[in-house]
Amino acid sequence: MGTELNMANGVREFARSAPNRVAVVDGDRSLTFAGLHERSSRLAAGLLASGLRPGDAVAVLSANRMEYFEVATGLAKAGLPMVPLNSKNAAADNEYIVGHSGARALIMDSALHGNIESIVDGLDLVLSFDGQVGRDYEAFLDRAAARDPRVAVGERDTFCITYTSGTTGVPKGVVLTHRGRVLTAYGTAIEYGLGPSRVTMAVAPLYHGAGFSFGYAGPQLGGETWVLRKWDPEEFLRMLERSRTSTVFLVPTHAQQIRRLVAEPAGAYDLSALRTLYFNAAALPVELKEWVHEAFPGVGVHELYGSTECSIVTNLRPEDSMRKAGSVGHPWFMNDVRLLDDEGREVPPGVPGELFARSPMLMAGYLGDEAATRQATTTDGFITVGDIAVRDDEGFISIVDRKKDMIIAGGVNIFPREIEEVVVRHHDVNEVAVIGVPDETYGERIAAFVVPAGGREVDLDSLETHVRASVARYKVPREWHVIDNLPRNAGGKILKRQLRDEYVARAGTRASTAKEKGQP
C-alpha cells in the first residue's frame, strides 16, 4: 500500500529537502520550510495533548496572515478537520457554523472576537494570535513538543469543512478530503505554474475555498507564498513587483479595481517575473478580459470554472483565451462533465443544460445533510451545484447562468448573464447585476443594478438604447437601479439573493436613481 495523500506532506517533504528555503512571507515576517514544519508540528502535538482527538473539528477565524499556513498544516498532521470561518460573517453565522460542524476548538485573531463572542466560552479550547482571547497562541506552541505526531490520516478522511456562502439559504458544510485537495494542488502545478522555487501570492481570502487552495499550494508544492493581508490594488501591484511573483490567482473584481487605479500596470511597475494569471469566482466580462490581455502583455491568462463542492471543473487555456472569450474551456484534469436537461438527458451542442461533474476531487458530501447530498449527486457519482452551461461544436463550455438566477418572465426563460455582458460594455458602467423581481402580471420582470464607471453619471437612456441594440426586446431590463457597490461574498461572487431580498423588503418603493419601464 502506498503513502496516503495528506495536505501536510508537501511541507514535510520540503522541510527535509530544502529546510532553509523561504515558504511564506507576511510583511516583515517570514517562515522557512523548517520553521513551518516545526511550528505546525508543535501546534498538532499541543492540540492532541489538550484532549482533542483525530476527527474533532477545529474552527479557524482569521484574515490572511502567515499563521494560516501553519494552522492548516498542523491540523492536517493531527487529523483534525479545519472549519474556516469567514472573517466578515456576523456572529450568528459563525455560531451556526461552529455548532453545525461540531467544532471543539477555535484558533483566531482577537481583532475578530466580536464575530464569535457568543460561543467562545462553550468551546473546549480557544487560541488567539495575540493572547487577548482564550490562550496565547505563541505560548501554546512554545510549551508543545516539537514533534510531528504522525497521526494515521487516510486520504479520504476530512481535511476541511468549508461552508457555502448561504446565498440560497442556510449555509451547507462541504466535506473536502485530503485526497481531493492534494490532487487539486498537483493540477495547479501543471496548469498554473506553481511548484518548487516558484513564487505566488495569497490575494483572495484564505478562509475561502479557492483562496486557500491556491495560496496554500505555494509551500505545499515547494514554492513561496507572499501574503496580502487585505485587498488593495496599489499594494498588490507593489507586492507583485517586490516578490517577483510568477503566478497569481485573482477574481474579476480585482481586475476591475486594478484598471481603475492604473490603465497600464506593466508600464508603471516591474512585472517582468509574472507569467500566469488565473481567474475564477465569476465570469470575466469579455471587455474586461480584453483589457487584462493588454495590461499584462505576454502573461498567460486562464479562466477556470469550479465550485466548493467540485473543485476545478473546467479551464480555458491561454491559447484560446480570446478566441473563445466567454467560455470556461474544456473539462480539467480527471474531470468528466455532463450537460443534462430536466429529464436527465444529455443536451446537444448549443443547447443549455445543467452542468454535472465527476472527478476524484469532488466533495465527500454535505455534512449532516444526506438529503442535500442526494439531491446534488447522481447515482453514478456526478455532482451539480445548479449551474447552467452550453457546449459548442469544439467542446468548449460556457456558463450560461446559475439555475436559481434564471428569470422566468411570462413563461419565458431568460438568463441574466447574456444581458450583463451587454450592459457592462457601455462606457458609463463598471459592473452590473441583473435579477428577476416580482411582477403581478408576468411572474418576474428584469431589473438591472448598475455600478457607475469611476466618477461618471450613468445616462440611463443611452444605456437602454445600447442594450436594445444587442438583445431581444423581452430581455431589456424594465428597471434600472444605480448603486455604489454590488454585494459580494468572500470569493467575489455577487449576492443576487441579497439584492432580491432588499428589493422585496422595500415593498415596491424605488430610489430616486431608479428608472422603470413598462412591460412590452
Last residue of a domain, one of 159, 176, 193: 176
Q: How many H helices and E strands in the chain?
A: 15, 27
Measured between alpha carbons, how far is 126 from 108 in angstroms, rounded to an integer?
8
Name the β-bridge partners of 515.
480
Measured between alpha carbons, how far is 306 from 424 in angstroms, rounded to an integer?
23
Q: Is 261 exposed, middle or buried (0-12, 13-18, 19+ CB in 10 A)?
A: middle
Last residue of a domain, one of 127, 157, 176: 176
pLDDT at 114: 87
In this prediction the pTM is 0.84
Residue with the three cell numbers 482571547: 133
In the predicted model, residues of the chain with pLDDT beneath 70 are: 1-2, 165-169, 410-411, 490-492, 507-520
How many structural domains are present in the chain? Answer: 2
Does a structural domain hold residue 257? no
What is Dmax (Cα atoms) for the chain? 73
pLDDT tens across 146-175, in order? 999 999 999 999 999 999 865 445 789 999
Does a structural domain hold residue 208? no
Does a structural domain hold residue 282? no
Does a structural domain hold residue 473? yes
CB atoms within 10 A of CB 11: 29
- Cα–Cα distance list, 336 to 253, 358, 372 (Å): 29, 5, 22
Does a structural domain hold residue 53? yes
Q: What is the 3-state secondary structure (H, E, C) of 207-251?
A: CCHHHHHHHHHHHHCCCEEEECCCCCHHHHHHHHHHHCCCEEEEC
pLDDT tens across 403-428, in order? 777 787 866 778 788 898 899 889 89
Last residue of a domain, one of 127, 148, 176: 176
Does a structural domain hold residue 382? no
Q: How many CA atoms lie within 13 A of 489 on its CB side?
A: 23
Q: What is the CATH number of the domain that holds 10?
A: 3.40.50.980
Residue with the three cell numbers 470569493: 491
Measured between alpha carbons, how far is 199 from 344 in angstroms, rounded to an integer?
44
Name the β-bridge partners of 448.
434, 480
Containing structural domain, residue 508: 406-516
Q: Is residue 346 within a helix (H) or strand (E), and if so which, with residue range? A: none
Q: What is the CATH number of the domain that holds 501?
A: 3.30.300.30
Does a structural domain hold residue 422? yes
Does a structural domain hold residue 40? yes
pLDDT at 165: 66
